[in-house]
Amino acid sequence: MDNHGFFQFVLYKLISISVQLVLLYIVVLGCEWLAEKKGYNIMERSFLVTLVSLPIITFIIWTIIIYRFKLF
């Protein structure tokens, strides 16, 4: 891989990870907004955010692992 290809690869990975983190942050903010609207206390809010964001994070991590080892 030459220098130009490496730079494009790094830039693509950086943008990809940034987009994933921004989307996850939007999901967390959506959960917080829903919890505020429903009037939940802090424990119920944290449970709701964890309940929604943990499967998304797990899916992202498993996708990275499967892609890296080329299992499929």
pLDDT of residue 15: 92
CA-to-CA dists, residue 58 to 7, 14, 34, 42, angstroms: 28, 20, 22, 24
Yes or no: say if 49 and 28 are a contact pair by the CB < 8 Å rule.
yes
Query: What's the whole-number average pLDDT of the chain?
Result: 86
Average pLDDT over residues 17-34: 89
Q: Using pLDDT thresholds of 50, 70 and 90, give the confidence band for residue 41.
A: very high
Percent of the chain with pLDDT over 90: 15
Is the pLDDT assigned to residue 63 strictly greater than 70?
Answer: yes
pLDDT of residue 72: 57
